[in-house]
Amino acid sequence: MSYPYQIQDKEGYFTSYEQSVNDPEGFWENVANSFLWRKKWDKVLEWDFKTPNIKWFLNAKLNITENCLDRHLENNGDDIAIIWEPNNPNDEVRKLTYKELHAEVCRFAHILKNNGVKKGDRICLYMGMIPELAIAVLACARIGAVHSVIFGGFSAKSIADRVIDANAEYIITCDGAYRGAKEIPLKSVVDDALTQCPFVKKVIVYERTGTSVSMIKDRDVWWDDEMQKVIESGLTDFPAEEMDSEDMLFILYTSGSTGKPKGVVHTCGGYMVYTTYSFVNVFQYKPGDVYFCTADVGWITGHSYIIYGPLAAGATGLMFEGVPTWPDAGRFWDITDKHKVNILYTAPTAIRSLMASGLEHVEKHDLRSLKVLGSVGEPINEEAWEWFHKYIGKGKCPIVDTWWQTETGGIMISNLAGVTPAKPAHATLPLPGIQPVLVDENGNEVEGNGVSGNLCIKFPWPSMIRTTYGDHERCRQTYFSTYENKYFTGDGCLRDEDGNYRITGRVDDVMNVSGHRIGTAEVENAINMHDGVIESAVVGYPHDVKGTGIYAFVITEHIHHDEDHARNDIAQTVARVIGPIAKPDKVQFVTGLPKTRSGKIMRRILRKIAEGNTDSLGDTSTLLDPAIVDEIIKGKV
């Protein structure tokens, strides 16, 4: 593979950037020309941010899997597409060449077809980090079905909410998943979820752990049994469905300010072009490099930078089933050494946690293969940046700090490895094609450098969100109504004297816990389901490892004699309702909450208390009951 759109040096970056602003359509047309299309576009772009209506590469036809697979077969079919490292380091590594991956995807596409799946159908995937997850995702794309991957840490209720919202009639899951020392009973969680989803027609189950599961007659089938039938039928290829550039590729649910996660919709053409373009440029991928992204496919990072971007670029990607701390905190470094990883893309929360477990885990391993390091998911603090740079990159690997979102589909602001300069704790500069702006509270653009504001994007890019599934108005309201004619990210941001962007964090009611997005309202809803709870308010607070921890203020009917026990019960309820990632770190029982006269909870005050920053609470005299503030401060946990 060669990448004609790969930027080679700093001048190249500035020239490309300028061109992308002066002639966006020409710029993207040029990038898109390097892909495989059944038919090219009639028009590059049509857009308005009012409706919003965004269309890229109009009337072009393609199948993204022909770009991720078929395209590489002739010259690079024997290259490794996926190296799979199992949870247990003593188990066998699996390597799939592009030819093998293509064959597996085709076979599984037949299985989908045999089970009644058609173009446009929604399929929920609830699986561990095994090659079959990538195979299932790609098979959906090949047949034109819309995948909705649900992270393996979500609860039965979260699955049911998503299956219902997407009206998904098909589920793909595993009997169980290995995660470190734990075994997670995925199928059993799915079964609980599906008691609420009688419309589900088929559940395809891959056997990974061998744990016993209950199979429902006429609904549940084993992956291996279905595979046997396909193999016996002798069918190998599966001709890819011809998709329109703007046909839906997938839905991915993400948290917002309300209690209900929204289904972010991405479409085929633009998403393919942008994820591949950004992958190749940000990481400066060179054919033959081994690239390891530690994210889970259940999040957007896994979609864009484990599956679609790298595969369309013909890259060799490493997929890891387990967790960074098992069997010990040296696992990432062990994997890096074992597979001679060249590019490592991970999250600040992982870096901070591994940093805390001591250098002895690092020093045992040879990390000389590393060339480029990357960070994503939350602001990376300077201490973690320096540690990553010094002890993992040995001072010679550029670190790319990549800012982006589920909604943006791909990396928006980042330095390009070794091409544009890094600055610790700064995402630095927008990729060519991306036009960020900062706006003040009145919605006016803040110009010049050395300024701050809310981060917006003022021009469309190919992988941007098209709609929120089943509720276009919600998409308009959330992203396009705060500031006229701009996409609003929900993030606060600084632009330094040199024009480098530094993302400071969410300015809405979304928390970023270990890089996972969780809405305060979702956690409150879950807490309020707990017996005896009258009301609750949840805020984020600075946490050494997680970045943000979850602090819950809870009003209950009765005073608890064993508060620790009650706290634990509430945390368990949240884990059951949402998933373990949303468990509050701190629960404080209070008799009231600081509210305005109109009954609105003053989160600003609760946030300050949770931070331990009670000197600057600001004006509390407008509160309904100012005395409650002192009570809450005294009872801080």
**Counting contacts by CB under 6 A, is residue 514 touching ligand 7RM?**
no
Of the candidates 128, 324, 374, 379, which one interacts with ligand 7RM according to CB under 6 A?
379
Report in angstroms how near the CB of residue 491 gets to ligand 7RM at its nearest.
5
User: What letter would DSSP give residue 381?
Assistant: P
Using alpha carbons, list the distances in angstroms from residue 38 to 63, 64, 240, 356, 600.
8, 11, 11, 51, 54
User: What letter would DSSP give residue 165?
Assistant: H
Of the candidates 67, 301, 520, 556, which one interacts with ligand 7RM according to CB under 6 A?
301
Report in angstroms how near the CB of residue 417 gets to ligand 7RM at its nearest.
14
**Counting contacts by CB under 6 A, is residue 279 touching ligand 7RM?**
no
Q: For residue 68, which of 149, 145, 151, 134 has the smallest C-alpha distance? A: 134
Stretch that binds ligand 7RM, among 96-104, 127-135, 194-202, 503-511 (CB under 6 A): 503-511
**Counting contacts by CB under 6 A, is residue 517 touching ligand 7RM?**
yes
Backbone angles phi, psi at 618, to 5 degrees: 75, -165
Tell me if 104 sits within 8 A of 94, measured CB to CB: no
Question: What is the size of the binding site for ligand 7RM (CB under 6 A)?
Answer: 24
Report in angstroms how near the CB of residue 347 gets to ligand 7RM at its nearest.
8
**Counting contacts by CB under 6 A, is residue 20 touching ligand 7RM?**
no
Q: How far apart are CA 319 and CA 220, in angstroms?
A: 27
Question: Where are the extended beta strands (E) located within 441-509?
Answer: 445-446, 451-457, 467-468, 487-495, 501-506
Q: What's the N-to-C CA distance of the chain in angstroms?
A: 56
Compare residues 521 and 617 and give the one whose CB is closer to ligand 7RM.
Answer: 521
Compare residues 86 and 348 and give the one whose CB is closer to ligand 7RM.
Answer: 348
Q: Is the peptide bond before 310 cis (omega within 30 degrees of 0)?
A: no
Report in angstroms how near the CB of residue 256 gets to ligand 7RM at its nearest.
10
**Counting contacts by CB under 6 A, is residue 307 touching ligand 7RM?**
no
Report in angstroms how near the CB of residue 166 gets to ligand 7RM at its nearest.
18
**Counting contacts by CB under 6 A, is residue 300 touching ligand 7RM?**
yes
Of the candidates 81, 146, 282, 376, which one interacts with ligand 7RM according to CB under 6 A?
376
Q: How far apart are CA 5 and CA 280, in angstroms?
A: 8
Q: For residue 112, which of 245, 230, 281, 248 has the smallest C-alpha distance? A: 230
Q: For residue 351, which of 79, 546, 556 has the smallest C-alpha distance? A: 546
Tell me if 360 sits within 8 A of 329, measured CB to CB: no
Q: How far apart are CA 75 and CA 104, in angstroms?
A: 19
Compare residues 267 and 405 and give the one whose CB is closer to ligand 7RM.
Answer: 405
**Counting contacts by CB under 6 A, is residue 136 touching ligand 7RM?**
no
Stretch that binds ligand 7RM, among 56-64, 135-143, 294-302, 618-626 (CB under 6 A): 294-302
Q: How far apart are CA 284 and CA 431, in angstroms?
A: 13
Stretch that binds ligand 7RM, among 63-71, 306-314, 383-391, 404-412 (CB under 6 A): 404-412
Binding site for ligand 7RM (CB under 6 A): 254, 299-301, 376-379, 401-406, 427, 489-491, 503, 505-506, 512, 515, 517
